[in-house]
Amino acid sequence: MEEAIDVHTRDLDLLQAAGDRRNEATAWNNLGVALREAGRVEEAIDAHTRGLDVCQAVGDRQGEARAWNNLGVALREAGRVEEAIEAFGKDLEIGREFEDWYGEGQTFHNLALAHEDAGRPADARACWLQSADAYTRANAPTEAARARSRATGPDEGETTP
C-alpha cells in the first residue's frame, strides 16, 4: 500500500506543478483512498478534504459528490459517525443532479452502515431499502438484492452478507 501512496503523491506533485486543478482533485481523492486502506485514516480525511476543496474551487460537482462520499467513508472509519452521515448526505444532495443511480446506491449503502454504527437500525433499514431502489434503477440486480437482504436483517429470518 505504501507504493500506491508514493505513486499517488508523485501524481499529485506533477498535477500541482502543471496547474491541473481538476485532475489534482482526483489525485487527492485517490491518495485519500490509499491512505485509508493503509490504516492512515486521519491523513486520509485530510487528503479527501483537500480534494473536496479543489473540486469546489473548480466547480466539479461530480467530483465533489465523490469526494464527500470518500470523506464520509474515512470519517466513519475514524469513528466520527455523525460527521460521516453529514458527508454522505451532501454526496446524495449533489449526486441527484446527475442521476447516477449506481453511485446513489453506494452512498445509501455507506449511509446505512453509518446508521448501524450509530445504533439507529430503523434509519439503517431505510437506507438499505433506498440503496436497493437506486441499484435497481442502475440495473444492478445483484447489488439491489444484497441491499434488500441487509434491510430485512437477521431478525426477519435472513442473514446479512
Q: Do domains 1-80 and 99-155 have the same CATH topology?
A: yes
Neighbouring residues of 4: CB distance < 8 A, sequence distance ≥ 6 = 34, 37, 38
Task: Determine the Cα–Cα distance for residues 114 and 21; give it in Å rounded to an integer.
Answer: 31
Fold for 1-80, please state it: 1.25.40
The CATH architecture that domain 99-155 belongs to is: Alpha Horseshoe (1.25)
Give the residue, 157 or 97, on which the prediction is more confident: 97
Q: Do residues 58 and 46 lie in contact, with contact meaning Cβ atoms separated by under 8 Å? A: no
User: In one letter, which amino acid is 158?
Assistant: E
Domain ranges of the chain: 1-80, 99-155
Span 51-62, average pLDDT: 96
Task: Determine the Cα–Cα distance for residues 153 and 15; give it in Å rounded to an integer.
Answer: 45
User: For position 154, what pLDDT does the model report?
Assistant: 57
What are the tens digits of pLDDT across the range 7-40? 999 999 999 999 999 999 999 999 999 999 999 9
Instruction: State the CB neighbour count (10 A cutoff) for residue 119.
Output: 9
Q: Which of 1-5, 30-34, 130-134 has the lowest mean pLDDT?
A: 1-5
